[in-house]
Structure 1
């Protein structure tokens, strides 16, 4: 297993590909209720803005994750 695959496996994966905003951000918010580390996969071009705003409001750390996704962590 590669380091990237190992890192992704530690996070809860939320697959919101094919969903339009605001659904990816809503799915992320729901997942973050129970998990402190989420890999969000989304392909809507507007998702980045929505996810970044949500993370900023909640004080979550946001970083690029797997292709087409973002790693979101609660500190």
Structure 2
């Protein structure tokens, strides 16, 4: 009669796997939040360079459609 709660309902192995799922989801969420925060920040010079590169690529792919 040592089982109680989730352990009694799911068994010891299932309860351990459930905790691993929660821990894994927490870690994955943290990694995603970190990635979104880092990817969302561009310095002004980086943004300008990105815009210039995008315009150059568009001109290269479609030279008849000149951007204004």
Q: Which has the larger radius of gyration?
A: 2
Compare the two structures and name the one with the higher strand fraction. Answer: 1
Structure with larger RCO (C-alpha < 8 A, sep 6+): 1
- What's the TM-score, normalizing by structure 2? 0.28
